[in-house]
Amino acid sequence: MLRVLFTVLMLLCLPVAGLAQDLQSLLQVHKDEIAKPKRKSVGPVLDALVASGHPALSQFLQNWQEKEVYQRTGDEMFFYVQESGDALTLLDIETREIVTEGVAEDAMAQIKPNGGVRKAIGEALVQFQLSDPDPARRADALDAISRNLDASQLEPLKRSIEGETGPSLRLRKERLANYLVARFGKTTGDRVTAIENLSDDLSVDGRAVLSQILRTKLVATQEPTDSMNLARIVTPGEDEELSVHAAYEILVDEAGLPPIVTQEDVLAIIGANVDGGRAGGIALAAMDNWDMRYRAYDALAEQGVAPPRATDVPALVSEWTFAEVYDEKDSDVTDAAKATQETVETRVAMSQAADLGLDAISLASIYFLAAIGLAITFGVMGVINMAHGEFIMMGAYTGYVVQLFIPDYTLSLIVALPLAFAVTFGAGVAMERLVIRWLYHRPLETLLATFGISIALQQLAKNIFGTQARPLTSPGWLDGAWVINDVIQIAYIRIAIFVLAVLFLGLLLFILKKTRLGLEVRAVTQNPRMASSMGINPDKINMLTFGLGSGIAGIAGVAIGLYAKVTSEMGSDYIVQSFMTVVVGGVGNVWGTLAGAGMIGTLQKWIEWLNPSNTLAAQTYMILFIILFIQFRPKGIVALKGRAAGD
């Protein structure tokens, strides 16, 4: 009975004994390699440490990598240290509790692993970080793996997927595991399956994996190429990337063929070996042509004083086969990668086209919002209002001021939109009553007057708000972007501006087509005398119409200010595009303004895609194209019909 109890107690104590070894004892087994680590021999030490699974090992590896581990020269024990004046305080390697104070610096040796060792430590550390309780550290581990894919990372990564609780991190782990299988899988079938899974992955990392599998090198051989995993045969002279001379230089380096000797080299060798007026047995006087000079050089080469030269480079090159060969030996893997890469490239091209289209729609909605007010004041009333951009600026500053008093960005936006309309509506009415009403049908004077008002409003804004850009912060629910895939994404703020543009299009059409104000505006625009005889007050309608256009510009300013800088000059960034939008679309037509905004937004994005490094050139090309367009269609895309068209 006693023997049975003793045996049970021993079995119960075995796990405790296995865990009893502290970190210091574990490190002492490998103390020499830890103190003076080398890249080629540190691997087995790291494997042994990782296999122990000690809970304090992760922190030790991190400190070792960051050169924060010290060894006491007397007994070769490892510690962390804290500086205390001229002395050091030693901390326990496992608990970080104070062990000894007042230790002289010369009694401790700092361990300084080189770059290769630190890289190896980092790879071992990733295995701990993959299952770290902190999601940020797990994400850092995944970042480290994605930067440098290695076969040793596959199994730890697979083991960590099972216990991953974060959906996004789990997805990243599964994607990285697929990358690693595609690169380093044990069987061809596993690799091919993983590669085929990449057909739905449009990310840069996924495409990089395919490119790495399909990496090639140029080889020259006189043997049959059947045993090679051939990408393609390269014909020197016919393929642009490989000339005959470049191919021969490869043979010089790899096959030891004689180098190509230039004429300068020939003259230099002959000049260095002149003896008694002769070189290579040929008199200098006889070397009046290159055939004789080459004969002299060849004679010197036979004497061993010059390297032999290639005499028929094309013939020598034709004896060799030049080919691009995959680094990957398995042809099934490269065939799968090539097919997947073609699929991915097609999908990427289509996604880029869709992304460009969404960008164009987004830009068009911004231009439409900026121009829709001008479509009323200029397109309907015929007033050239150069201060239209400043009404946009006033609306943006109104939104900024509202946010100073209402810190809730959603509520402030709800208040700012109608308030910006009210402020700019009032400013537009005042401008029409004080200036514009006296200048109807005098376009040059109107242009000069509104240009002066524009400058005055800019200076007034500078005096009030200063010259620095002011923040107009969007609500939190407008942060981020709608990500369709790794190529197509659009910011939520752009979507909101698009929705706002559609709403104002509908609202403006409703006002002009379904309300008494719209009926009177159209009547005054087409025939003010007849409208006046029908009891309509043209002055009142002009005032309200100008105020409406100005108010819409103010709302556009709030929307634009949510993603663009709010400064006193911001209006000038949109005034040219606004006029172009109205003119190209068709003066006096809301649908034309929409068409013009769509055309200009698409054209600008297309030109920027063709010439992304020079936005100024893109603007210039766009203006030139519009000038040409107007020459062929002076009334715009959607021309007015009837009596208004004649006016």
pLDDT band for position 116 (cuts 50, 70, 90): confident
What is the CATH code for 349-646? Answer: 1.10.3470
Res 460: pLDDT: 92
Higher pLDDT, 514 or 378: 514
Can you tell me the mean pLDDT for 616-631?
77
Q: Are 227 and 372 in contact (CB under 8 A)?
A: no
Please state, in angstroms and rounded to a whole number, the distance separating the CA atoms of residues 49 and 25.
11
**Which helix (H) or strand (E) is 83 found in, with range?**
strand 78-84
Higher pLDDT, 593 or 16: 593
Res 139: pLDDT: 85
Out of 125-134, 368-377, 389-398, 588-597, pick the least confident.
125-134
Can you tell me the mean pLDDT for 623-631?
81
Res 639: pLDDT: 60
Q: Is the pLDDT of residue 160 over 70?
A: yes
Res 494: pLDDT: 86
Per-residue model confidence as pLDDT tens digits over 59-69: 888 888 888 88
Per-residue model confidence as pLDDT tens digits over 322-360: 888 998 888 899 999 999 999 999 999 998 888 888 888
- All CATH 1.10.3470 domain ranges of the chain, comma separated, are 349-646
Per-residue model confidence as pLDDT tens digits over 275-313: 888 888 888 888 888 888 888 888 888 888 888 887 778
Res 342: pLDDT: 93
Q: How many CA atoms lie within 13 A of 289 on its CB side?
A: 2
| Most confident range, picked from 12-16, 50-54, 422-426 | 422-426
pTM summary value: 0.69
Res 20: pLDDT: 46
Three-state SS across 554-606? Answer: HHHHHHHHCCCCECCCCCHHHHHHHHHHHHHHCCCCHHHHHHHHHHHHHHHHH
* Mean pLDDT, rounded, of the chain: 82
Per-residue model confidence as pLDDT tens digits over 2-51: 343 333 333 333 333 334 467 888 888 888 888 888 877 787 888 777 77
Measure the CA dihedral 344/349/352/353, to 10°.
Answer: -140
Per-residue model confidence as pLDDT tens digits over 528-548: 778 778 878 878 888 888 888
Higher pLDDT, 478 or 614: 478
Res 511: pLDDT: 82
